[in-house]
Chain A
């Protein structure tokens, strides 16, 4: 494995290895000195074309805990804002000797393109509406920690699937790991060919909740209303928002997940967001361990 571009590129063994490695590395976070020398002398560039403090910080922390040198290259205020192409930026990073490039970009496929232009490893930290592989991996890691196994797990992914890179990566990864995914959304927020995806589809959240071990809520942007994806935020919330009452209809062991940032009052109520069954902060903590695992596996070789 040289790059991590899509969870679809991972087979079951590779995905499991990443999760197992994350489990080992998680213990580092519990120590007083949270640092391993594994990637000493290696350079990791965080190339972020979209603002994402959460993901960038997570990658930065992960790389630093492995003793890598970390450079944050943000699109704003750099040569990128002066019109430099992605290719030229890639060649620049290449010339500086980047061993790994973590890229977040608004264009689907940007990480794929980058992988043709640099010798180092490319980690897709979210490309447009395509994929966000480390998010899906940390989600799977969280599910496994909480519920013990992924095989046979019933996972509902609820919300704006059409525009969600998190949903795409999760469907591919969870299917590979043996979970059963159901996508829940109004038809306007599902891809037209969703029937060919390896998952179930439902328009009815209430029907799916009692049969779910995990309910993953996706962020829904209010602007979608203006593009006629749904009539109003209130109507969306009534049909697809997770509130305390709906939480009560889930099995007792079932957990609520959210990739963040949450929009309280739209897809998730404050009551649910703050409930102990909601794993949002746990996901954030797991994100660091998981990204350490990915960096270690991609860059840790000789």
Chain B
């Protein structure tokens, strides 16, 4: 065993932003919480004065690219990147090559994650074979596999066929699964390049109307309620979507939703220079949408922040806009963006951040051992975050294999200093341990 397995005494951290305490991590659990804890023999001390302690973050939406696009990311580099961002568990999206639509593929990804051991990799299973939207994939086999898949998504593509979506919602119920929908009406977004509005009209780029997202969300909420199933809405990006989800929750629909850090901060005005670093699906929207998303996350209409970490090699972005790939990396900047957009603005407390980025995503993903907060005898999944350590974002300095961050050149307010997965540090002093 490497000697970094602890135990560790975290000195003077502020759990959920509260008063400073010490935390003793031993044998994978939080063994003791208290003031001025004694240092038992063989315990390594981590000075955490001024740092906020949060439960290990859980990402519901990560593209690890392996198998198939190892030039962009691998399970290993993605796991490192996740750890650097304070994540102890990620849900690996199904749009790999081959698609994660069989027990074999999800088990392969799950095993890779286990071997690497830097964060728990929970594969997402495809809803339909090959993401083709025609035939249900073997949801039961993936659920029963070693990977224990509970989240099913054709992310990147919308399950647009209403009947197929109904069946998926119903069928997944038998396995306590949830269908995570990429809400994008395909006909309304043929050739779409960016948010449809003043900027797209000026730039001459085919528009991606908000209604293409909202219409699918409305339909799916009604379907989910009709068949009594769980629905999760991926990367909500418009004000109208927030309104619809709020309405659906009020009428008792079992729907949850996520928002990405980039949709909480960036707007379509950034597309003005045609730099595809800002090209993403769903597209960056308007200031009005950004404010509505923040409000929705604050009042609980939107349950979680999920990164939609989407690494791409340089050449996929160094090209004409319409030719460029959609997506942005986000694992390593997520917490700092949430601080800037939600905490520093007074919209969320750190306790609520822990809910939106750890407890709620773990609950939606039915992920045991994560999202259980910081309590004695609970799992020692801990992130130590310095909220007063501004960092100039530089994609090339990141741990992810790709560098396509839309925050490059911006200053974000804080940094992850340490991440512990079941008591073992995956990050210490701001570096991969």
Bound Cα distance from A85 to B314, whole angstroms: 12
Assess whether B321 is in contact with A109, with CB atoms less than 8 Å apart: yes
Q: Which listed segment binds A: B54-62, B136-144, B202-210, B402-410?
A: B202-210
The answer to whether A78 has its CB under 8 Å from any CB of chain B is no
The answer to whether B197 has its CB under 8 Å from any CB of chain A is yes
Minimum CB–CB distance for B215 against chain A, Å: 16
Which chain B residue lies CB-closest to A190? B201
Which residues of A sit under 8 angstroms from B204, Cβ to Cβ? 108-109, 127-131, 165, 168
Most buried by B among A85, A108, A191, A197: A108
Which residues of A sit under 8 angstroms from B203, Cβ to Cβ? 108-109, 130
Partner of A86 from the list B197, B209, B273, B319 (CB cut-off 8 Å) is B319
Taking A85-B315, A168-B204, A192-B207 as contacts, is the C-beta distance between A108 and B322 under 8 angstroms?
yes
The answer to whether B320 has its CB under 8 Å from any CB of chain A is yes
Which chain B residue lies CB-closest to A108? B204
Which chain B residue lies CB-closest to A165? B204
Minimum CB–CB distance for B288 against chain A, Å: 14
Bound Cα distance from A112 to B278, whole angstroms: 15
Partner of A128 from the list B196, B198, B318, B322 (CB cut-off 8 Å) is B322
Minimum CB–CB distance for A88 against chain B, Å: 10
The answer to whether B135 has its CB under 8 Å from any CB of chain A is no
Which residues of A sit under 8 angstroms from B320, Cβ to Cβ? 86, 105, 107, 109-110, 113
A92-142 contacts to B (CB < 8 Å): 105-110, 112-113, 127-131
Most buried by B among A107, A109, A196: A109
Mask: chain A, 189-210; 1 = CB below 8 Å from B; 0 = not: 0011110110000000000000
Which residues of B sit under 8 angstroms from A191, Cβ to Cβ? 200-201, 207
Which residues of B sit under 8 angstroms from A85, Cβ to Cβ? 315, 318-319
Taking A109-B274, A112-B274 as contacts, is the C-beta distance between A194 and B201 under 8 angstroms?
yes
Assess whether A87 is in contact with B318, with CB atoms less than 8 Å apart: yes
Assess whether B322 is in contact with A192, with CB atoms less than 8 Å apart: no
Which residues of B sit under 8 angstroms from A107, Cβ to Cβ? 320-323
**B: number of interface residues (CB 8 Å):** 22
Which residues of B sit under 8 angstroms from A112, Cβ to Cβ? 273-274
Assess whether B321 is in contact with A192, with CB atoms less than 8 Å apart: no
Assess whether A108 is in contact with B319, with CB atoms less than 8 Å apart: no
Bound Cα distance from A50 to B321, whole angstroms: 17
Minimum CB–CB distance for B202 against chain A, Å: 8
Which residues of A sit under 8 angstroms from B193, Cβ to Cβ? 108
Mask: chain B, 323-353; 1 = CB below 8 Å from A; 0 = not: 1000000000000000000000000000000
Which residues of A sit under 8 angstroms from B202, Cβ to Cβ? 168
Which residues of B sit under 8 angstroms from A130, Cβ to Cβ? 203-205
Which chain B residue lies CB-closest to A8? B202
Which chain B residue lies CB-closest to A227? B190
Which residues of A sit under 8 angstroms from B323, Cβ to Cβ? 86, 107
Which residues of A sit under 8 angstroms from B206, Cβ to Cβ? 129
Bound Cα distance from A128 to B204, whole angstroms: 7
Assess whether B319 is in contact with A192, with CB atoms less than 8 Å apart: no
Minimum CB–CB distance for A242 against chain B, Å: 25
Which chain A residue lies CB-closest to B205? A108
Which residues of B sit under 8 angstroms from A106, Cβ to Cβ? 322
Which chain A residue lies CB-closest to B322? A107
Bound Cα distance from A178 to B126, whole angstroms: 57
Bound Cα distance from A130 to B272, whole angstroms: 12
Minimum CB–CB distance for A131 against chain B, Å: 7
Bound Cα distance from A130 to B274, whole angstroms: 11
Which chain A residue lies CB-closest to B197? A193
Minimum CB–CB distance for B403 against chain A, Å: 16
Assess whether B198 is in contact with A193, with CB atoms less than 8 Å apart: yes
Bound Cα distance from A87 to B319, whole angstroms: 7
Bound Cα distance from A194 to B204, whole angstroms: 12
Bound Cα distance from A130 to B204, whole angstroms: 4
Bound Cα distance from A85 to B200, whole angstroms: 24
Minimum CB–CB distance for A14 against chain B, Å: 20
Minimum CB–CB distance for A132 against chain B, Å: 10
Bound Cα distance from A156 to B306, whole angstroms: 49
Which residues of B sit under 8 angstroms from A86, Cβ to Cβ? 319-320, 323
Which residues of A sit under 8 angstroms from B209, Cβ to Cβ? 192
Bound Cα distance from A86 to B193, whole angstroms: 19
Minimum CB–CB distance for B267 against chain A, Å: 15
Assess whether B322 is in contact with A193, with CB atoms less than 8 Å apart: no
Assess whether B201 is in contact with A113, with CB atoms less than 8 Å apart: no
Partner of A192 from the list B196, B205, B274 (CB cut-off 8 Å) is B196
Bound Cα distance from A68 to B236, whole angstroms: 54
Assess whether B273 is in contact with A192, with CB atoms less than 8 Å apart: no
Which chain B residue lies CB-closest to A112? B274
Which chain B residue lies CB-closest to A161? B201
Which chain B residue lies CB-closest to A107? B320
Which chain A residue lies CB-closest to B318? A87
Bound Cα distance from A196 to B198, whole angstroms: 7
Which residues of A sit under 8 angstroms from B196, Cβ to Cβ? 192
Which chain A residue lies CB-closest to B201? A191
Which chain B residue lies CB-closest to A86? B320
Minimum CB–CB distance for A8 against chain B, Å: 8
Taking A193-B197, A196-B198 as contacts, is the C-beta distance between A113 and B207 under 8 angstroms?
no
25 contacts between A and B (CB under 8 A): A86-B323, A107-B321, A108-B203, A108-B204, A108-B205, A108-B321, A109-B203, A109-B274, A109-B321, A112-B273, A112-B274, A128-B204, A130-B203, A130-B204, A165-B204, A168-B202, A191-B201, A191-B207, A192-B196, A192-B197, A192-B201, A192-B207, A192-B209, A194-B201, A196-B198
Given contacts A108-B274, A108-B321, 5 further A-B contacts (CB under 8 A): A87-B318, A107-B322, A113-B274, A113-B320, A193-B198
Interface residue ranges, A against B (CB under 8 Å)? 85-87, 105-110, 112-113, 127-131, 165, 168, 191-194, 196-197
Closest 5 CB pairs of A and B: A109-B274, A130-B204, A191-B201, A107-B320, A129-B204
